[in-house]
Amino acid sequence: MSQIMLTIIVLKTAILLLGGGITYIAYRAHRRTGAPSLRALAIGFGIITFGALLGGIADQVFNVGFATGVAIDNFLTMLGFAIITYSLYIER
């Protein structure tokens, strides 16, 4: 395994752990308060985290190619940020 591939795997793992933690905290806050904005925030971060995971899996496991994996990751990151932006405008 090349050094760059190992670096990508380590970084994707860190993204998964940190993103999963943020998603969990936002979800717990939603459950505690019932605020729809916190639910949307949790969904947005969850999609971003899932995108990083899916992009890496697509490249490494399904062998779709690095560029396709990056495109999947970028699309889900964009979608997650759109949902996070929406969460900032939801009124209770």
| pLDDT 10s digits, 44-55 | 999 999 999 998
- The pTM for the full model equals 0.89
Asked if 63 contacts 51 with a C-beta cutoff of 8 angstroms, the reply is no
Q: Any idea what the Cα angle at residue 79 is, between residues 23 and 82, rounded to 5°?
A: 85
Chain segment 46-84, per-residue pLDDT in tens: 999 999 999 888 888 888 988 999 999 999 999 999 999
Residue from 92, 45, 54, 46 nearest 73 by CA: 54
